[in-house]
Structure 1
Amino acid sequence: MATRVLVPIDDSEQSRAALDFALEEFSDAALIAIHVTDPGTVYGATGVEAGTKTSPETGTGVRDDYERIRTHRETEVERLLADARRRAEAAGVALETEALVGDIPKRIIASAEAHDVDRLVIGSHGRTGASRLLLGSVAETVARRSPVPVTIVR
């Protein structure tokens, strides 16, 4: 039986199912939930090309737009992690949480190694449609590269 389990989470139903599965199946293990933000989602959300000083949409400085979006994103991530902690507490399970930034599959694998986990539980996918085809499946990439067994939850 696994003693240390990593659960990458986002705001998808599959992610919530993965956390619920881990809380039920690995309730005696040390559980760690992480959320990884791809920095491209913050930069891309400004809608401004590199080198531009003023956003065409808002007329404000790029730095202002970036800071506003970054702050909003950090708030959303903390809300997501707080919800995971509440759900774990309701299940009577201790849960450590961590917010990370970087390439999502790479950060998940690095976190699994850093936390010395012996199991990874991940939702089947957070993206749908064309974005999943274009960007690939995080779960698939993690499963292929993980140094530990991976449970993919639908």
Structure 2
Amino acid sequence: MSYSILIPVDWSPKSRAAIDHVGTHFPDAAITLLYVINPQIEYSRSLSYPGYTTDAEFKSEADKAERVLEMAFERATDAGFTAIAETVKGLPSKEIVQFAENNDIDHIVMGSHGREGLSRFLLGSTAEEVLRRSPAPVTVVR
């Protein structure tokens, strides 16, 4: 049975760095690329339904997920490893941990946006929450 690695992706430079890190350090691992569609949106994105994703916004996020996963899959393939792509809906940190628990993931490699100070305190940190709750080791690429 091969070593399984979960890479949450959003196509930020840090999530691309996570893909590259896995390609360099774990070339023989079974890779899952995960995009989490977050149903909680900022008030400024939806004045009619603050805090909720409308059908049109969800479709837009689903389309974005598909595009991001296509690019991430191509990057993984170019790096020489095989990957599968998955999309889930929910709060990113919770869904990443739950996916790892439900799919016997051996390791999570993810990017961090590197927020510091007050920004980190107010916005929280997906990577930090995953680090605290993950059933598997977590490598955070910055």
Into which bin does the TM-score normalised by the smaller protein fall? 0.7 to 0.9
Structure 1 pair 43–15 and aligned structure 2 pair: CA distance change class (3 A): same
Which residue of 1 is the match for residue 64 of structure 2? 76
- How does 1:96-135 map onto structure 2 within 5 Å? 96-125=84-113, 132-135=120-123
- 1:13-92 maps to which residues of 2 (within 5 A)? 13-41=13-41, 45-49=45-49, 66-92=54-80
Instruction: Kindly provide the amino acid, as one letter, of the partner of residue 92 in structure 2.
Output: I
| CA RMSD, 1 decimal | 2.4
TM-score, normalisation: structure 1: 0.80
Gaps of 5+ in 1: 51-64
**Amino acid corresponding to residue 21 of structure 2 in structure 1:** F
Runs of 4+ in 1 over 6 A off after TM superposition: 126-130
Cα separation, partners in 2 of 1:133 and 1:141, compared to 1, 3 Å: same
Question: Which string of whole-angstrom CA distances, capped at 9 and with x for unpartnered residues, describes residues 96-154 of structure 1?
Answer: 11111111111000101112011110112276886543221110110111111111101
Alignment identity in percent?
41
AA partner of residue 141 (structure 1): E
Residue equivalent to 1:139? 127
How many pairs does the alignment contain? 139
- Give the number of the structure whose alpha-carbon radius of gyration is greater: 1
Change (3 A) 1:128 1:34: farther
- Structure 2 runs not aligned, ≥5 long: none
Q: Letter of the aligned partner of 2:5 in structure 1?
A: V
